Amino acid sequence: MKNKTLSAVALATLTLTLAACNNNQAGGADSTLVIQQSADIPTLDPGTTYDTSSGQVVENMYETLVGYQGNSITEVVPVLATEWQASNEDREYRFTLREGVKFHTGNDFTCADAEYTFRRNLVTNTADSGNWFLSESLLGTPSNAKDDTSITWAKISSAVKCDGNTLVFTLPAVDPAFLTKLAYIGQGIVDSKHAKEIGEWDGTEATWKDAVGKDLMGSALSKQPSGTGAYKLQGSDATATTLTAFDGYWGEDKPKITNVILQKVPEQAARIQAFLKGDADFIEEGGRPIISAQLTGKPGVSVIDDLPNTTASGFSMNQQIAAGSGAIGSGKLDGQGIPADFFKDADVRRGFVASFDVPTYIDQVQEGKGSPRNFLLPDSFPGYDSNLEAAQFDPELAKAAFQRAWGGQVWDKGFTVSISYRAGSQTQQTAMELLKKNVEALNPKFRVNIVAKEWSELIDSKNVPKEAMVLGGWAPDYADADNFVSTFYASNGYYGPRLNANDAQMDTWIKEARSTTDTARRDELYAQIAKRALDEAYYIVMPASPNVFTYRDTIQGISDATYNPMIAFTSGTYWKNLSKE
């Protein structure tokens, strides 16, 4: 984390002073919500929003066709659509759109805006966005037209089009997750007239190829957004983003808080001080131990705990480590390294899995609030089989597995392997140290070196295949088990290059699960996948921990009954639902 400069401190102090003045105007339309975080806001263009820092702003400025009902992650309800019908064996969806809705510019929302939005997302579809899963649904491929030459304008324009004020989607195959994908804020409907006026793609066949894969991070629309949401942008710079309630908002729930200020404050101590003084209403706290030690029980501070967790994380074990990797040492099973296919032996993987001390991790990092998981799928999601027992920490089981591995050679000759974690992550470092300690305690010939690396280095596609073992995670793009199962376990999933498992049976089950709308069959398939993944020890699955966050007790509208983990904002609800005393 970079140190703040004197000028940054001054700017933050000035903003905090103004915020405090506003906060003193208690209640109703004059109140201001202040949020402090360490991260910047990369973009305000929904067409490329794919991070929680951007998402928490975009989801309050823009709206999607559908959203989630209350705290449910399974019940989808209308937002800018009023109703929809599926036909042709769930391969055609017709959405009736809401009338009387205006954008922040004053332009009327029409079907043309929705058509433009989805076509723009399919055309641009960069690696910085979540449009890959929209393209997968509508075009049958996660790629854009530069990477997949089968994509044509005819395919894009026929996949999404207007029939009067009805928006029609035509899918090449059944996708049981399609509706939840539409709830993702990256599919927020943009003001097409405004977008074209400020220089965005004009939406025509004549120019679409020029827009393929276009970087939207610093787009004109990111600088001048116009959505239908309850808040509109007032201004944004390197230290603060300010928004104000939109007077023309169509919804019955009109925003009660007039102003919202998001401040970038890199230093955790400064955020905590501002929070305790009442100069910030929400902050990025730093995790459960910080909340317990420095915030719980303090005057004016409310804590809400035991909330659903919708992330999953685990240690991946690479079964075919790429050449040129420093992780494998000598490259031989001679005590000084490992061969590239070291983890291809299931008993090696089983030895590492049984060596991870889940109970100690839960106690030290999660303060006793964690629980073991049997699968890299949040247990709050449909498809999680709670009847399957999670892997156990068992040194004797680990010893027996290592003694069998590579026909006994692993135990006799020993090994040295380097494993990586994200620099600056105390939780990841603790997990790695626990694993190292327990593996090395089994045999004096075992050596595990832990290496801190920058996150950008760990996720760089050029470096991924060279890593032997990495602790990584996933937060959902859409509330469907497929988003996790395909990501972690499919041979061509996001974690494929980190695992190199190439399990044909798993791929068959995953493909069937993502192509049927039979819920019972999907649950059955996911249970089979979980059992096989556990038996084959593909990952060291990290335990789950309930979400917890703090807020100033002057904020009203927060409860576990309204908290929805699919909403990016820390309170699990939209700003329009909050008020201040």
Domains of the chain: 6-40+238-307+547-580 (3.40.190.10), 66-223 (3.90.76.10), 312-541 (3.10.105.10)
Q: What residue spans of 409-500 are helical by DSSP H?
A: 409-413, 426-442, 455-459, 482-489, 496-499
For the chain, give the mean pLDDT.
Answer: 91
Helix (H, G, I), strand (E, B) or coil at 462: coil
Q: What is the mean pLDDT of residues 536-552?
A: 95
Phi and psi (nearest 5°) for 263?
A: -110, 135
CB 243 within 8 Å of CB 233: yes
At residue 268, the pLDDT reads 86
Partners of 445 in the beta sheet?
none
Least confident of 30-34, 212-216, 506-510, 543-547: 30-34
CB 100 within 8 Å of CB 252: no
Q: What is the mean pLDDT of residues 250-271?
A: 93
450 pLDDT band, cuts 50/70/90, is: very high
For the stretch 158-171, pLDDT in tens is 999 999 999 999 99
pTM reported for the whole predicted model? 0.79
6 pLDDT band, cuts 50/70/90, is: very low
Of 304, 301, 300, 263, the closest CA to residue 284 belongs to: 263
For the stretch 41-86, pLDDT in tens is 889 999 999 888 889 999 999 999 999 998 888 899 999 999 999 9
Q: What tokens does 221 get?
A: 């629309």
Of 327, 537, 332, 347, the closest CA to residue 448 belongs to: 327
Least confident of 222-236, 364-378, 541-555, 567-581: 567-581
20 pLDDT band, cuts 50/70/90, is: very low
At residue 103, the pLDDT reads 98
Most trustworthy range by pLDDT among 1-5, 383-387, 473-477: 383-387
Helix (H, G, I), strand (E, B) or coil at 297: coil
At residue 424, the pLDDT reads 65
Of 211, 200, 184, the closest CA to residue 62 belongs to: 184
At residue 560, the pLDDT reads 86
Helix (H, G, I), strand (E, B) or coil at 434: helix
At residue 145, the pLDDT reads 97
- DSSP assignment letter at 523: H
Element (H, E) at 236: strand 231-236
CB 418 within 8 Å of CB 327: yes
Most trustworthy range by pLDDT among 34-48, 120-134, 334-348, 470-484: 334-348
The size of the chain, in residues, is 581
At residue 262, the pLDDT reads 96
Least confident of 173-187, 499-513, 555-569: 555-569
Give first-to-last CA distance, the chain, whole Å: 35
